[in-house]
Each structure stands twice: as C-alpha cells, then as structure tokens.
Chains A and B, each alone.
Chain A
Amino acid sequence: MDIRSLKQQSELSYNIAVAKRNALEKANSRMVMAYNGNLFHADANTIGLVRTLKENRDSFFLLDTNNNPVEITDADNFLERLIERNQEALNAYHQMYETFTKKGD
C-alpha cells in the first residue's frame, strides 16, 4: 500500500468520524421531548428510571432537563412516548450509520 492510499483511507476515516459525530448529535437533539409542560431527554437513563419507578408506584417524581421536579401520574403513557421518541431518533441514526459502514468498506 502506498502513502497516497493510506492518506485517502485516513481522510475517509476522518470524514466518517465527523459525520457519525454529527449524526449522533442530531439524534440527541431529537430525543428532547415535552411532556406535561416540561422537557425530558428520551435517553436510556430516563427510560430505565421511569421503568424502574413505575414497577412500584402509580405516580412518582422526576427531574426535567432544568432540574425542575415533575409529578408523573400516567407512567405507562409517559414511558410509551419516551420509547417512541428514543427509537425514532436512534432509527434515523442507525440509517445514517449504515451509510457510513458502506462508505468504509
């Protein structure tokens, strides 16, 4: 392998890394979700916490993205919406990721 092809490979890897980073940021922005007048991040932490809390309680309190306390009274509905938003964002990220993988082959 000559130095030119190594350079091409390096540039391609860099471009894929930047595109992946930007796509992940896009997914993170997409995970922001309004619920009951507050903002939440529909990420793995929130989903896991809501799922755990709802096992033992009908209603419970969570902190929103600005650390304001919010009472969740319909946990099933909230969890469903969180998962929906999370998967929508990650599905788009996955589609983008597939195109990176193909470029790298």
Chain B
Amino acid sequence: MKQGILLFCFDTEHTKYHKILERCVGLIKKNLKLEITVVTNFQTYNKLGPLGLINYKFMEPEIGNTKEGKPWNNVDRHMAYELSPYDKTLVMDIDYFCYSDNLLQLFDTDYNFLVPDQAFDLSDRNSFDHRRFSQIPMVWATVLYFKKSKEVEHIFKMVKYVKDWYPYFNDLYRIQSKNFRNDYAFAIALQQLKGFIGYDKFPFALSTLPPDCEILELGDYGVKWKLHDEVHQIEAQDVHVLNKEIPYE
C-alpha cells in the first residue's frame, strides 16, 4: 500500500507559510522518511527553497476565512481525500513539527480514520480545554490519519457539507468562534456520521505551544521558547506551534 504525507501550504500577505513548510518538510524527511505531497499555489511555490524530492499539487485556495482579522486559507482540508495520491495518508498542518517517528505507528494499523481529540499544553497552563467554547467536543484536525475506503470518503464528503453550511452548524453547536475551523468541521462531521456516539481517536495528546510562547529556536532536534522571561525547551518530541512568528534560519 502506498503511504505518505499530505500538506497544505498557501502564503498570505501576513504570514510566510512557505518558510514554515520548509522547516516542516525537513523534519518529516529526517524523522518519518515518508513520501510527501504539498498542495499549494504558484505564488507560494515560487518562493520555496529547494526541498528535494517531493510532489506538488497546484490549486488556488478558497478564500474568505479569517483569523484575528487576517486572511486564513484553511478551508480546503475537506479535499484531502481526493487530493491524496496515497492509500494511507497522514494529513498534517505545516506548523506541526515531527521531532520523532511516533506517527509512523499509525500506518501499521487497520484503522480507517484517526484524529486526536486532546492537546497537551507544553506551557503548563491547560489552555486547550475547549469544551466550554462549544456544545461539541472539539477534535484537533492538525493531524489526521486516513486509509482510502468508502467510510472515509463519506467522512470527507460530510466535512464538505458541514463547510458549505458552516454558519448553520456553528449556531447549532453554539461554537464561540465564528470563523471556519477544521477542528469543529471534522468534529461535527464525525459526530453526525458516527451516530452521535463516538469515533476512533489518537491515543495521545498533541503537544502544543500556545500562541503567546515566543519561539527562539526551531532546531534539528527540538524547540526552544520563551514565556514570561523564562526559557524552556523540548527535544525529540513532536510539537504543534501556534505562534507563526518562527525564526526561519
């Protein structure tokens, strides 16, 4: 079975996502050693430095979504199923940095679809308890694993349906944030399709650095950050970095 990683990357006027992609790809190659396909547009592609052997799929992102008043091109995740050239796919946000090979375990399973529903706050403030922000437990669509199958095709079709009618679902589940979030779109789609009971999840939380952590170094072996004048670091531990002001060199 062909297996690989699918990444979405579209620069905006405020954020150089291509720089984040370069770091993300380097770590995937080093630690996961899987084939990579990047979904991007030509404007972003033209700014990319050499990334070695990876595949590209070109498309223009659906625009209109925002985060804190700035453009946020995150609406196309529902297309991952049709865009993936792999039988087994790991879809990842490019701000998820793989400092270990832990995610490889997922490819050795018979699961059709897995998604994390927990995030671990590396700054020790438990700031990701999102239950109070909606009537539905959120998932973290930061990392998704899926195997091509009828069931998974239905999940992605449902996500597209939720996306198309997002204001309705947003009201229905009383979600506090009004912009489109894949985390809620997948949570809603899974709940609707799985009979409102439950679904299979990652058996670990995504280690995450909140946006107010200043990233000092995104090295080859780990991350160093500053919070309240204190410097912390982790090594050999996968991390989701929410602050997009990342030192590139």
The reply to whether B100 and A18 form a contact with Cβ atoms under 8 Å apart is: no
Question: Closest approach, in angstroms, between the C-beta of B126 and any C-beta of chain A?
Answer: 11
Cβ of B62 within 8 Å of any chain A Cβ, yes or no, is no
Say which size band chain B's interface belongs to: 20 to 34
The reply to whether B204 and A29 form a contact with Cβ atoms under 8 Å apart is: yes
A96 to B120, CA, bound (A): 19
The reply to whether B207 and A38 form a contact with Cβ atoms under 8 Å apart is: no
Cβ of A51 within 8 Å of any chain B Cβ, yes or no, is no
A38 to B105, CA, bound (A): 9
The reply to whether A65 and B106 form a contact with Cβ atoms under 8 Å apart is: no
The reply to whether A38 and B109 form a contact with Cβ atoms under 8 Å apart is: yes
A29 to B207, CA, bound (A): 9
Taking each of B106, B108, B123, B232, which has the highest tally of chain A beta carbons within 10 Å of its own beta carbon? B108
Cβ of B234 within 8 Å of any chain A Cβ, yes or no, is yes
The reply to whether B237 and A29 form a contact with Cβ atoms under 8 Å apart is: yes
The reply to whether A39 and B105 form a contact with Cβ atoms under 8 Å apart is: yes
Chain A residues positioned under 8 Å from B109 (CB to CB): 34, 37-39
Q: A1-36: which residues lie under 8 A (CB-CB) from chain B?
A: 11, 14-15, 17-19, 21-23, 25-26, 28-30, 32-34
Cβ of B66 within 8 Å of any chain A Cβ, yes or no, is no
Looking at chain B's contact residues, is the secondary structure mostly helix, strand, loop, or mixed? loop
Residue on A with the closest CB to B234?
A22
Chain A residues positioned under 8 Å from B230 (CB to CB): 11, 14-15
Chain B residues positioned under 8 Å from A22 (CB to CB): 122, 207, 232, 234, 237
Chain B residues positioned under 8 Å from A23 (CB to CB): 234
A84 to B197, CA, bound (A): 35
Chain A residues positioned under 8 Å from B207 (CB to CB): 22, 25-26, 29
Chain A residues positioned under 8 Å from B122 (CB to CB): 22
Chain A residues positioned under 8 Å from B200 (CB to CB): 66, 68
Question: B residues within 8 Å of A by Cβ?
Answer: 100, 102, 105-111, 120, 122-124, 200-201, 203-205, 207, 230, 232, 234, 236-238
Question: A residues within 8 Å of B by Cβ?
Answer: 11, 14-15, 17-19, 21-23, 25-26, 28-30, 32-34, 37-39, 41, 65-66, 68, 92
